[in-house]
C-alpha cells in the first residue's frame, strides 16, 4: 500500500507537477497554519537557507570566485534545483496566496489559510528570488536579443519554430516585469514595512497583485505554448528527414532485402513486415518476460507508465487554464457579493 502511494505521487508529480505541488503545499499550509503563525521567523530563516546556498556561489562565480556547488549534494541538490524551478515551490505558494483572497472566509480551512496569508507571501519570496536570480541572468540577455537584434539571434540560435521561439522569448522578457511587480508586493508584506506604510497606502500597493497574477498566467502559458510549438516543429522536421532518407536508401534495393525505417522503431526486415506483431506497451512486455523466465509476473504500477513530454505540456497548459480560470470566476463572484453587501449597508443607513 505504501509503495502504491509513493508510485502514485511520483506519477502525478511527473505528469501534473503543478497540481501535485499545489495539493501538497495546500495540505501542509493548513496542517502547519498555527505553527507558521507562531514561529514565522523560524520558517523565514529555514526557507531562506536554500536561497543563500544557490545565490552565494552563483554571485561568487559571476565575480570570478569559484565556490563549492551545493547542487552536487544528493538530497540537498534536489531541493536547490526545485527552488530554482519555479513550478515546484514558488508557483504553488503564490497560487495559495492568490486563491485565499477569492474563497469564502467562513470555511474553516480557508480561515486557516487567510490567517497566514501574509506569512505565505513572505515565504514565497525566497524561491521566487532564487528562480529570478538564475533564470533572468541566464535567459534574459539572449531573450532580449531576439527583439533588439533578431538577425544575430536567428543566426546563432537553433530555431525550429520561429513562432514558438518568439512566444518563449516574450515570456522570458516578461519575467523582468513580473519581478518588478513582485518585489514591492513582497517587501510590503513584512510587518515592519506594513506598519510604516499605514493601512490605506498598503492596500493601494496590494492592488498591484491583480495585474501581477494576470501577467504570471501569461508568463507561464507563454513558456509552455512556446516550448510545445518548438517541440512539435522539431519532431515534424525530424520525421520529414527520416522519411526522405528512407526513400533514398530504398532506391535500387532488392525486394527481399528492402528495409523500412520508422521513426523511433529502428529498421525492420521483410520478415518482420510479413509477420507483424501487435504492439505491446513496454510495461506489459516486461511483465511477460518475467513470466517467460519462470518467475512470477510483475504487476504493472504507476511507475511503469510513460507519458510523453508533449502530453505533459498539454496537462500543464490545462492545469494553468483550470487554476486561473476558476480563480477569476471566484474573484468576480466575491466582488459582486461584496458590492451587494455595501449597497445594502448604504440603504440601511
Look at residue 329 and tell me whether its pLDDT is greater than 80.
yes
Q: Give residue-wise pLDDT tens across range 20-67.
A: 999 999 999 999 999 999 999 999 999 999 999 999 988 888 888 888
- SS3 at position 261: strand
Residue environment code for 178-197, b if the CB has 16+ CB neighbours within 10 A, otherwise e = bbebbeebbebbeeeebeee
Provide the residue count of the chain: 349
Name the residue with higher pLDDT: 68 or 167: 167
Candidates 65, 7, 40, 102; CA nearest to 325 is 102
Q: CA 54, CA 50: separation in Å to the nearest integer? A: 6
Q: Give the pLDDT band (50/70/90) at residue 330.
A: very high
Phi, psi dihedral angles at 78 (to 5 degrees) = -65, -40
Q: CA 54, CA 227: separation in Å to the nearest integer? A: 26
Please compute the mean of the pLDDT values over residues 280-298 and round it to a whole number: 51
Q: Give residue-wise pLDDT tens across range 109-164.
A: 999 999 999 999 999 999 999 999 888 888 888 899 999 999 898 888 888 889 99
Amino acid 254: pLDDT = 52
Angle between helices 90-100 and 309-348 (to 10 degrees): 20
Q: Give residue-wise pLDDT tens across range 149-208.
A: 998 988 888 888 899 999 999 999 999 999 999 999 999 999 889 888 888 889 888 899
- Those residues whose C-beta lies under 8 Å from the C-beta of residue 239, and which sit 6 or more positions away, are 263
Candidates 226, 177, 223; CA nearest to 85 is 223
H-helix segments, the chain = 2-15, 17-31, 33-38, 40-62, 74-84, 90-100, 108-115, 117-148, 150-156, 162-187, 191-197, 199-206, 209-250, 270-274, 282-292, 309-348
Amino acid at each position: 500500500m505504501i509503495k502504491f502511494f509513493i508510485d502514485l505521487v511520483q506519477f502525478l508529480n511527473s505528469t501534473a507537477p503543478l497540481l501535485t505541488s499545489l495539493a501538497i503545499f495546500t495540505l501542509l499550509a493548513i496542517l502547519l497554519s498555527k505553527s507558521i503563525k507562531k514561529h514565522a521567523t523560524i520558517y523565514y530563516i529555514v526557507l531562506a537557507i536554500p536561497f543563500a546556498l544557490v545565490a552565494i556561489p552563483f554571485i561568487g562565480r559571476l565575480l570570478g570566485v569559484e565556490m563549492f556547488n551545493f547542487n552536487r549534494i544528493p538530497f540537498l541538490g534536489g531541493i536547490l534545483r526545485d527552488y530554482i524551478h519555479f513550478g515546484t515551490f514558488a508557483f504553488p505558494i503564490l497560487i495559495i496566496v492568490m486563491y485565499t483572497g477569492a474563497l469564502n472566509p467562513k470555511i474553516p480551512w480557508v480561515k486557516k489559510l487567510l490567517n497566514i496569508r501574509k506569512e505565505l507571501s513572505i515565504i514565497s519570496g525566497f524561491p521566487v528570488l532564487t528562480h529570478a536570480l538564475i533564470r533572468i541572468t541566464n535567459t534574459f540577455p539572449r531573450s532580449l536579443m531576439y527583439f533588439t537584434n533578431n538577425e544575430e539571434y536567428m543566426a546563432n540560435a537553433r530555431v525550429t519554430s520561429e513562432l514558438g521561439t518568439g512566444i518563449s522569448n516574450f515570456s522570458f522578457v516578461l519575467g523582468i516585469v513580473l519581478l518588478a511587480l513582485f518585489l514591492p508586493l513582497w517587501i510590503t508584506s513584512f510587518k515592519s514595512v506594513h506598519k510604516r506604510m499605514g493601512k490605506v497606502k498598503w492596500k493601494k500597493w496590494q492592488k498591484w497583485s491583480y495585474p501581477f497574477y494576470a501577467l504570471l498566467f501569461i508568463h507561464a502559458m507563454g513558456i509552455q505554448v512556446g516550448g510545445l510549438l518548438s517541440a512539435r516543429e522539431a519532431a515534424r522536421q525530424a520525421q520529414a528527414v527520416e522519411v526522405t532518407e528512407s526513400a533514398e536508401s530504398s532506391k535500387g534495393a532488392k525486394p527481399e532485402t528492402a528495409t523500412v525505417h520508422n521513426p523511433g522503431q529502428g529498421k525492420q526486415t521483410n520478415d518482420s513486415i510479413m509477420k507483424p506483431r501487435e504492439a505491446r506497451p513496454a510495461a506489459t512486455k516486461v511483465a511477460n518476460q518475467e513470466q517467460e523466465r519462470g518467475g512470477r509476473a510483475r504487476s504493472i504500477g504507476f511507475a511503469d507508465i510513460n507519458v510523453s513530454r508533449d502530453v505533459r505540456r498539454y496537462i500543464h497548459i490545462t492545469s494553468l487554464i483550470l487554476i486561473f480560470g476558476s480563480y477569476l470566476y471566484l474573484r468576480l463572484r466575491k466582488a459582486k457579493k461584496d458590492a451587494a453587501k455595501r449597497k445594502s449597508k448604504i440603504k440601511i443607513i
